[in-house]
Structure 1
Amino acid sequence: MGRLGEVGGAGVRTGDGTVAECPRLIERPFPIVISGASGTGKTSVVKKLLSIDGRLVRAVTATTRPPRPKEEDGIDYIFLDENEFQERKRRGYFLETARVHGFWYGTPKENVEKALKAGKWAVLNVDVQGGLAIKEIYPDAVLIFMLPPSMEALEERLRKRGTEDEEEIQRRLAEALQEMAAAPDYSYVVVNDDVKDCANRILAIVRAETSRTRRGLQMPKKIGGKVEGA
């Protein structure tokens, strides 16, 4: 995405004595929301994304579901019991909450704000309901929906994960179709047929969005034919 900060120069004096200054591109971080059906590979892609560009950080979400093998508290999720989750929800700790597959999920306000204030792009791995709620709070957020290569590939991934029984797998496949129906509500769609390739496609989206004129293009201000401050 180029270096953080302003891209542009101080300007040069032209033959008629005026100062010509190049417009500036000021990179302003924004939330990056990634959603998709269970088993699409969102967590793996997000980890790869963060390893490619250190200016992207994950805004870790909280959940009441039990940790899966190799998941770490505070890194993959903030694991809370039902009572603690509801208490934090009551105190206004979360930007949004949703009940998904029988468990609560929530996005802590401080995790997103801390990243943005530090000049980082906050990456959120949330469900569709949560993603649309984030967009209401942060209108400049970019919403990316992740699809599997096929339903067969999705089923295979769920089975290989080994964390759900047959009944749960069938339920998640049915719910996946409902979640995919919300893809048109998102700004972009990517297919996760390869983790690294998918991460690079998302990074390309972020780079393009960062360069949008409406986000950070600052035109020179002229007073009497001269650039202000010249």
Structure 2
Amino acid sequence: MTGRSRLTVLAGPTAVGKGTVAAYVREHYPEVWVSVSVTTRPPRPGEVDGVHYHFVSDERFDTMVAEGELLEWALVHGRAKYGTPRRPVEEALGAGRPALLEIDLQGARQVRASMPDAFFVFLAPPSWEELVRRLVGRGTEDEEERAVRLATARVELAAAAEFDVTVVNDDVRRAAEELVSWTRTPVPSTKRD
């Protein structure tokens, strides 16, 4: 890749598999730096602090926002805060590595406003029914939380047109390979302003 390294932003609806695709990229494509977000939500079973997320208190998160330590942040599903630490992103890009942010729609919009040269990839489910099946199947949310997440997902799916490309997550390996190809591709001259 010539020129400066590319920041690629991956977003999509809840339960589409953003974390799974990003984890595949992290494991199989070490040349791509993958950001680890901070969140105020409690860890799900099997999640490791510093690997899947940096789990922080509301107070620590608010301090990070106030001190400008986050590139983007949002209150997601009206429940927990998520954000991207700024310094590691800047360090990865400064070292010439392609960088990948796996974030929600609100965060992607903030990054577009502050870093318009980033490349935005929307991760879509093969179908609405499959998205519902994945959310229910992971078993990490109760009925009320699932209803909130599905209502949010409908809104998020409608935002696909805001992104440079859409990748359908019908197979994790295939979706990750397509995503990595975008991290390596120069920004097309037809990229929207």
Q: Could you state the TM-score of these two structures normalised by the residue count of structure 1? A: 0.78
**Larger RCO, structures 1/2 (Cα 8 Å, 6+ apart):** 2
Give the corresponding residue for 2:44: 68
- CA–CA separation in structure 2 for the residues paired with 1:213 and 1:181: 25
Kindly state the Cα deviation for residue 62 of structure 1 after the two structures are TM-superposed: 0.7
Bigger Cα Rg: 1
**In the alignment, is residue 185 of structure 1 matched against residue 162 of structure 2?**
yes
Aligned residue in 1 for 2:71? 95
Q: Where do 5+ consecutive residues of structure 2 fail to align? A: none
The CA deviation at 1:78 is 0.9
Residue-by-residue CA offset, 1:128-185 (whole Å, 9 max, x unaligned): 1111211222222110001111111111111121111112212211210101111111
The CA RMSD measured in Å over matched residues stands at: 1.6
SS of 1:209's equivalent in the other structure is coil
SS at 1:34's partner residue? strand
Q: Which residue of 2 aligns with 1:77?
A: 53
- Which residue in the other structure is 2:87 paired with? 110
Cα distance per residue 1:194-226 (max 9 Å; x no partner): 00010111122223336x579xxxxxxxxxxxx
Question: 2-side partners of 1:136 and 1:209: how far apart?
Answer: 20
Question: Where does residue 49 of structure 1 map in the other structure?
Answer: 25
Cα deviations by residue, 1:19-50 (Å, 9 ceiling, x for unpaired): xxxxxxx2421211000111000111011122
Alignment counterpart, residue 120 of structure 1, candidates 97, 105, 119:
97
Question: Structure 1, unaligned stretches of length 5 or more?
Answer: 2-25, 215-230
Change beyond 3 A, Cα 1:207–1:95? closer
Alignment size in residue pairs:
189
Query: Where does residue 180 of structure 2 map in the other structure?
Result: 203
Question: Does the alignment pair 1:145 with 2:106?
Answer: no
Percent identity over the alignment is: 41
State which of 109, 116, 129 in structure 2 corresponds to 1:132.
109
CA contact (8 A) 2:99 2:183 kept: no
* Residue equivalent to 1:154: 131
Q: Distance in 2 between matches of 1:94 and 1:152?
A: 34
Given that 2:21 and 2:173 are in contact with CA atoms closer than 8 Å, whether structure 1 keeps it comes out as yes
Residue type of the alignment partner of 2:70 = F
Q: Following superposition, which runs of at least 4 residues in structure 1 exceed 6 angstroms of deviation? A: none
